[in-house]
Amino acid sequence: MSKTTSIYVALLSCVLGTLLKYANANCPPFFESVNGKCYLFSPTLPAEERSVSWTVASERCNSYNAGLIVLGSSCENDQILLNEIVSRSNGTELADVWIGANDLLSDGSWKWADGSSVDIYSHLWSPGSPTYTPNINCGILRRSAFPSRMYLDDANCLFAHEYICETSEI
């Protein structure tokens, strides 16, 4: 088994264990409750569905009656969620994950999947991001090694990454 496969197996085991621990009847199947919302982490899906382009990730979330994750409702809620995502890595390298931010309609005008504006001055962005580089139009969560935390960055929408879907509790 390759190192990458081992990492994904470890991450999947961690996430599945967490799913069982946090199973919540208020969330759709495959989703789990974190701080009052329901989230689907693509590493919990079959291998062929885990890493996809931003557009495919958005379509997959929509097929679950959800959307790519939207951050920015409050600094406190964002930090709770980001800490939860980092904790799921269980010491392994967490892959970059697509989120609902993009500037596909107008370069430099960042919007969330729900249509609300992205605060490009937020503390969640990595230094120097977003870059306003052509063809770098979709938002991604990246993990920094030191300190261990998640931050927002912009990326090429055609690259394949894991993703996080978000929906309200039912």
Region of poorest pLDDT, from 12-16, 28-32, 44-48, 54-58: 12-16
pTM of the model: 0.76
Q: Distance of CA 62 to CAs 67, 85, 134, 149, Å? A: 6, 21, 26, 27
Closest CA to 79 of 35, 119, 129, 21: 35
Structural domains in the chain plus CATH codes: 3-168 (3.10.100.10)
Task: State the pLDDT at residue 74.
Answer: 56
Higher pLDDT, 46 or 88: 46
Cα separation, 124 vs 142, whole angstroms: 10
Region of poorest pLDDT, from 9-23, 35-49, 85-99: 9-23
pLDDT band with cut points at 50, 70 and 90 for residue 92: very low
